[in-house]
Amino acid sequence: MNYSVRVGNENFAITSVSTGSGRAKVNGAAAKVDLRHVRGNLYHLLLNDEAFAVQFDHDKSEVTIGPHTFAVQIEDERSATIKKMHRGAQAETGITTIKAPMPGLIVRLEVQPGDMVKKGQGLVVIEAMKMENEIKSSLAGTVAEIMVEARMTVEKDAPLLRIKPAA
């Protein structure tokens, strides 16, 4: 699994993560990494034989290492792909097409044509690899068209529905 991590103002690409061997690449450089949950929001991080006590505040998206607190954003490949697909392809008409971020089975539709939706509202649930993935709206607007129905299988990038942005 690969990750994109932003700590404070610095970006890190963490790639080739192998939990079995404790190896990864951080911005292309080989690193020994071990992250262990201690209790609550406290973790123990071993990075290239250097130990750190790390506290994650998930509510504030912050990490505290020693006396220093940093804003942190962590995104794995799968989340980045889903986020990218949520943005959809915006046509010249201003209508946004929401596409399937992965192949799967449409479990349920959470909206109908004509429904007003808010940014971040659930639209469709797709089952992929025995996991349900809720596809959320990337914008506020009105559902203009739904191109799928429950129990239908879809391929990656298949159009699911179209949303006309709020005025």
Q: What is the CATH code of the structural domain delimited by 88-165?
A: 2.40.50.100
pLDDT band, very low/low/confident/very high, at 86 (cuts 50, 70, 90): low
Q: What is the pLDDT of residues 87-101, one digit of tens each?
A: 544 444 578 999 998
pLDDT of residue 87: 54
pLDDT of residue 158: 92
Distances in Å between the Cα of 117 and the Cα atoms of 140, 142, 165 are 5, 6, 9
pLDDT of residue 148: 96
Backbone angles phi, psi at 150, to 5 degrees: -55, 145
| % residues pLDDT > 70 (the chain) | 92
Q: Give the single-character DSSP code of 102.
A: S
DSSP secondary structure, 37-93, as one string: EEETTEEEEEETTEEEEEEEETTTTEEEETTEEEEEEEEEHHHHHHHHHHH-EE-TT
Q: What is the pLDDT of residues 123-155, one digit of tens each?
A: 999 999 889 999 999 899 999 999 999 999 999
SS3 sequence of 134-159: EEECCCCEEEEEECCCCCCEECCCCE
Q: What is the pLDDT of residues 38-74, one digit of tens each?
A: 998 899 988 898 998 999 887 778 888 888 898 888 8
pLDDT of residue 98: 93
> Of 149 and 17, which is predicted with more confidence?
149
pLDDT of residue 122: 94
Instruction: Give me the residue spans of the domains in the chain.
Output: 3-77, 88-165
Edge-first strand order for the sheet with 131-136 is: 131-136, 122-128, 104-109, 153-154
pTM of structure: 0.49
> Of 3 and 114, which is predicted with more confidence?
114
pLDDT of residue 103: 92
pLDDT band, very low/low/confident/very high, at 84 (cuts 50, 70, 90): low
